[in-house]
Structure 1
Amino acid sequence: MLNIDYIAHHNGLQKVAAGQKLLLSIGALLIVTVSRNNSVALWTLLVMSSVIVFYAKIPLKAYVTLMLAPLGFSLAGIVTIVVSISFTNEVNTDMLWHLFTPFATLYILPSDVDRAINIFLVAFSASSCLYLLILTTPIYEISPILLKCKVPTIVIELIELIYRFIFIFLQASMQLYTAQQARLGYKSYKMSFQSLVLLISVLFRSIFFHYEKMTLAMKSRNIEHFIIPDVYLLKKKWQRLPLILFIVYVFVAIGLIFV
């Protein structure tokens, strides 16, 4: 998690305009979620993964590791879709599998399997679209675009604050956990529980302390909001290759929808 912000600042797409990357990722996300087509989902996953690994030059190991999180959530979610429960002894002839128990019957229908596969592919490919944006675009480059799209300032500031304090929270927790381990704070169940309680309390105090310091620093510099004005950001021109890539992606996706 701590490497995501570093990767967003050091990748092969860092010279590409943030609006162009936003168009590619959010455009693909809308297409795959609205169409809900298995072929479009696979095509989207292929394109997004190829752009991330080969164009943005994100390490394959880092990308695969990050994709394990949505993979786990997707697999856990489709289990409840595939497996149905009936409290009667009626047997459906279309069942692919069933298990009788004294209290209920567990069974799987072909239609549920098809629906689960579709949901899994759509969710997994949508995750790759979001990772393209997260891994190639720093948050301070996205905020001015959201401001131009008339997103309320308070919403943008909340996004930036949450994003910043996630990393502060993780860094502080890693440092505190390492310090506790060095002092044998987790050598027994009792000490582990006590150390965990202490870790949580210190973390919350640390976050509030960082927030107070940041607020005082902003007030001393007469800064009213967290959004960096567009004039202070490096101007990046729209490039031809990402635009061609997006057009090709859209045309192929439309073709797959109507095939």
Structure 2
Amino acid sequence: MRKRKPTKRWLATASPLTRAAIVFVAVVVTLVLAAWLTARPRDPTLYPPPPGEAAVTVRLVAGAWHSGLLLPREDLARAAEEAGDGALLEVTERFRAYPALEIGWGDAGFYRTVPTVEALDGRLALRALFTPGGRPAVLHVVGVAAEPEAAFPGAEIVTLRLSQAGFRRLAAALGRAVTMRDRHPVVLGPGLYGPSLFYAAEGRFSLLAVCNHWSAGLLNAAGVPVTPLLDTLPRGLVLDLAWRAGAHAP
């Protein structure tokens, strides 16, 4: 008769607690390995900016379930003009009265109907995350005049200094996210708070492409290292930027 392998015999006789611990460790190791394999590296030619070079300061604004980027409007308009990006130029011109723009990306249905955590609809969230093929996306653009901490009380705000070249790459990636129709960005209506608008956006929202992945992707375009698996949640993105990019809260 064929003998059972010692490992299998040991697992069969192990206590439920021991087996649970083994499963837990295996899951953790798998997640760590997946995070490492999918991590996107830093581009040393873009980030951090070389000593003595003028830098562009951008901020990640992270809430409980959503994150966006706070970008200097003049720098964004200048980058769009240099690149001939009509979509981004039109957006920055529309908000020309404000020194900064907070821009986020997300599911068109969920983003436009769930302004706060208190308004969270679990069924709508599940539909947004697990619809096969993903769901249509929108951009949310807010004109910001106040200091970041005053404009977004309660949010975690992470500051990064980007090189000029890195910021231009970020602006180019942002411009590609704006859906155009008849050579103009598609305005969908008023935003959730303050002077804001929703725009139709490129991309499909899903569990593998949430708002925090989008924010991380723009920063990665600027040369910042990111870890998509960790960046799924806002808090994970904040920690990722602290650990891998040396970013800091004010």
User: Is the TM-score greater than 0.5?
Assistant: no
Higher strand fraction (1 or 2): 2
Highest relative contact order (Cα 8 Å, sep 6+), 1 or 2?
1
Of structures 1 and 2, the larger Rg is shown by 1
**TM-score, scaled to structure 2:** 0.19
Higher helix fraction (1 or 2): 1
